Structure 1
Amino acid sequence: MSSENKQAVGEHFSLAAMEHARVMTWKAVDQIAAAIRPGMHESEANALGKAILQELGMDRIWHPVLIRFGENTLRIFKERSVGDPVLGENDIFFIDLGAVWDRHEGDAGATFVTGSDPEMQACARAARTIYDEVAIHWRGTGCSGIALYDYAAKRARVHGWKLNIDIKGHRVSDFPHAIYKAGDLGEYDAQPAPGLWILEIQIAHPERPFGAFYEDLLA
């Protein structure tokens, strides 16, 4: 498939609608994070996430709500959580949402910390920092998706974290984007266009069993 075809969109696509989907998905992330408390099971948090998305008026979910606690923050999207952990008083969790709003796909995710563990707090901040650095690099250089993830790995090492190279971002569009299958952002050999690609950053602590995740639309 050509680079042009990998960035194809449907007849209903608009950048304004993609931004609306982005805003609404982040609104859901923030509301879910505020409602998660120590003592909650991971399965309860995932059910809560679905309920909040419905309350906000999404069209539908386009990828499963994914909320990970503790050691499960090291697991990638395609992996199942281990057990059904309870969130601790000093713990870490991330939220990953993919929902359709007005026929356009939103996808957002971030990491949060309960308590005051300084390394967990640093890990959560680092995922966002690395995302921001890579997004700025994309805006400033117009480089390929492949080069973006090479840069992300370098920035993760500079900050003292390990980038999960099995997570490499993906396409979004007007729903259903599956008809515009384009592979991972980290395998895209041309310049990613605004409003079409999700940049995902997942990092791991170099020694302790937890990590952090952050994703957003390149726009």
Structure 2
Amino acid sequence: MTLSNSAKEATGAPYQLALMKHAQRLTWEAVERIAANIHPGMRESQAREMSQQVLQALGMQRIWHPTHIRFASNTLKTFKEASEGDPLLGEQDIYFIDMGVVFEGHEGDAGATFVTGDDPHMHACARAAKTLFEEVEAHWRAQGVSGVELYRFAAERAQQMGWRLNMDIKGHRVSDFPHAIHRGGNLGDFAGQPSAGLWILEIQIAHPELPYGAFYEDLLS
């Protein structure tokens, strides 16, 4: 049976847009606090351990998806792929944080890319992921297009900007926990106009020549 667009945007009785935005704000606060404590010489595993301490301090109820902190070439890995090894973060390096956390029964999901040192190519890559996200989000706001069209537009813009968009990462539903019972699927496969407060727009790009990439995600709200 094929679910209707309205069924794919179903929520539970506790759902409130204000609480979704609250959860998202706290998730972004967690991302920023974690990034402030990541430094060269740290291993990915150490960064993940530290992230749990930050989340506990912020009063999280639980994580709803595993925390991914990817260093260097692991920034090319998709969500479902395991990191290769347990790399040390270098003095000139790139990494991203991807968090899915429940606050007050609602799912926050946020991710961003950071750079140690002053390598211009790495900084350009990190900026490009956020810039592409902002352009796609603006397209959603201005044009009211479908999720399918959003990712078509994202791929086209990424190519024009000189990056490769990872089309295996197409965004997803969020809601009051657990959103999975609503089976909303990927944003990039959603044929309707995505409603605010229900969908995460994910952008993952790869450098066209160098062995790393960048990631940025946030709630369409």
Normalised TM-score (structure 1)? 0.99
- Letter paired with 2:196: P
How far residue 149 of structure 1 moved from its aligned partner, in angstroms, is 0.1
1:185 is matched with 187
Q: What CA RMSD, in Å, does the superposition of the two structures yield over aligned residues?
A: 0.4
Q: How far apart in 2 are the matches of 1:112 and 1:72?
A: 13
Q: How far apart in 1 are the matches of 2:69 and 2:23?
A: 19
1:201 aligns with 2:200: no
Identical-residue share of aligned pairs (%): 63
Q: How far apart in 2 are the matches of 1:112 and 1:172?
A: 24
SS at match of 2:82: coil
Q: How far apart in 1 are the matches of 2:192 and 2:57?
A: 39
* Pairing 1:109-124 to 2, within 5 Å after superposition: 109-124=111-126
* Pairing 1:4-153 to 2, within 5 Å after superposition: 4-153=6-155
SS at match of 2:216: strand
Gapped runs of 5+ residues in structure 2?
Answer: none
1:3 is matched with 5
Q: How far apart in 2 are the matches of 1:76 and 1:105?
A: 20
Runs (4 or more) in structure 1 with deviation over 6 Å come to: none
Q: How far apart in 2 are the matches of 1:206 and 1:50?
A: 33
- Letter paired with 1:139: R
Gapped runs of 5+ residues in structure 1?
Answer: none
Task: Give the length in aligned residue pairs.
Answer: 219
Q: How far apart in 2 are the matches of 1:176 and 1:164?
A: 26
Q: How far apart in 1 are the matches of 2:216 and 2:53?
A: 22
How far residue 155 of structure 1 moved from its aligned partner, in angstroms, is 1.0
- Letter paired with 2:37: A
Q: How far apart in 2 are the matches of 1:122 and 1:158?
A: 15
1:137-175 per-position Cα deviation (integer Å, ceiling 9, x unaligned): 000111000000000001111111000000000000000
SS at match of 2:6: helix
How far residue 112 of structure 1 moved from its aligned partner, in angstroms, is 0.0
